[in-house]
Amino acid sequence: MEILKYTEAHINYRKKLREFLEKEVIPYVDEWEKNKIVPKSAWKKIGGAGFLCTGVAPQYGGMGGDFLYSVIVSEELTKTNHTGLITSLHSDIVVPYIESYGSEEIKQKYLPGCVSGDIISAVAMTEPGAGSDLASMTTTAIEEGDEVVINGAKTFISNGINCGIVIVAARDPEVRSPYQALSLYIVEDGTKGFARGRQLEKMGFHSQDTAELFFTNCRIPKKNRLGEKGSGFLMLMAKLQQERLVTAIGAIAAAELILEYVTLNCKKTKVSGKPVIKNQSVQFALVEMATEVKLGRTFVDKLICDHMEAKNVVIETSMAKYWITEMVKRTADRALDLYGSYGMLEACPVVRAFRDVRVMSIFAGTNEVMKGIAAKFMGF
C-alpha cells in the first residue's frame, strides 16, 4: 500500500511539471553545468509556470498547495540529474521564514516575486569560522534608530550569485547569550555595503551558484528584521526539521535515479554475448542497492506524512538525513563499479550524480551533527 496519498490534482501537476522540464530544463542542463550557473531567466520560466513556492497562499501569488506539491517538484527536478535549479532551497527552506515570521509588509513586498521567480532567495548562516555551530557566529547586527548595521562574512551560500534577497543570521554583540543574540534580517541585492565574493568552485553541484557574501557597514531598514529581536535561533530551530526532510527527499530521489541508470545499463551491456545483468554477482549487487533504496523511500514517505500532520519528528528527520545521504553515496559508488570502464567517462550519467550527492552528507548540518541531535533528543 502506498504511504503517500496523491490526488488527481497532484498527479496532473507532476505530469505538467515533467512536460515543462523536458522542454525548458533538460535540453539546457549540460550548458548550465559548463557555465557553472543557471540563468535567472530559467528561474522566471519555472516560476511563471507555477512550480515555485507551491505552499505560498494565493493572496501572495501562490497556489496554497500542501507539502506534497513540494515533494513532487523536488523529485522531478532530481530526475533531470543536475542541481542548478535548486528550487527546494528557495521554495521550501528560505521562503518559509518569510511566510512564518515576516510582517505583512514584508510578505506583500517579497512573496509574489519569490513565487514568480523574479526574486531568487538565499539564506546566510555559515561563516568562514563557524559551520554548523550557530553559537560561534560572529556576523553582527547593531540597531541604530530605524536602521540595522550588519558587518561580517558568510560563505558556502547557495544561490549566492543569483539571489535577489538573502536572509542573514547575525548577532547583537551586546547580548552575551549566543542563542538570545541571534536575529534574522532580509538584505536586498544592491544594498550598499552588501557585496558578493567569488563564486566557489565545487566538486559537484556545478551549475548551482555558491558564493561568499560580505557585509561592511551594510545598512538596512529595521523593518527588514524577521520576527522579534533575538528570536533568530528559535526560528532556525523551528525550520530545520523541514530543511533536513527536504534534504532526505532529494537524496532518496537521487538514489532511485542512480539505481534506474545502472540497472538499465546492466541490461543493455553485454559480456561474451550475455547481458551483464545475468551475472549473479551483478544481480546480488543490484538487489542490495534496491533494498536500501526501498527502505529509504519507505522511511522518507512516512516522515512526509508525519511532517504534514505537524508532528515533531526532529529525531527521525535527523536519522533520515544522515542515513539516506550516506546510502545515496554508497549507491553511487557501487553503481560506478557496475558501469565498468564507462564509469570513468563524463558521458556516464552517474559520474555527475556521484559528485553531486557527495555534499549531501555535509550541508543542512553534517551527519555527525545529525547523530548528535538524535542522541540529545533521545536522552543519551
Q: Which residues are catalytic?
A: 243
* Helices and strands (DSSP H and E) totals, the chain: 12, 10
> Strand, coil or helix: what is 213?
strand
Q: What are phi and psi of 23, to 5 degrees?
A: -95, -40
- Measured between alpha carbons, how far is residue 34 from residues 27, 38, 362, 365 in Å? 13, 10, 24, 28
C-alpha–C-alpha distance, residues 292 and 136, integer Å = 37
Contact residues for 341 (Cβ-Cβ < 8 A; gap 6+): none
CA-based nearest residue to 73, from 159, 115, 133, 10: 10
Question: Could you tell me if 149 and 139 are in contact, meaning their C-beta atoms sit under 8 angstroms apart?
Answer: no
Cα 192 to Cα 172: distance, rounded to the nearest angstrom: 20
In a 13 Å sphere around the CA of 105, the CA atoms on its Cβ side amount to 8
| Torsional sign, CA 4, 5, 11, 13 | negative
**Grid cell 540563468 — which residue?**
39
Number of Cβ within 10 Å of residue 258's Cβ equals 25
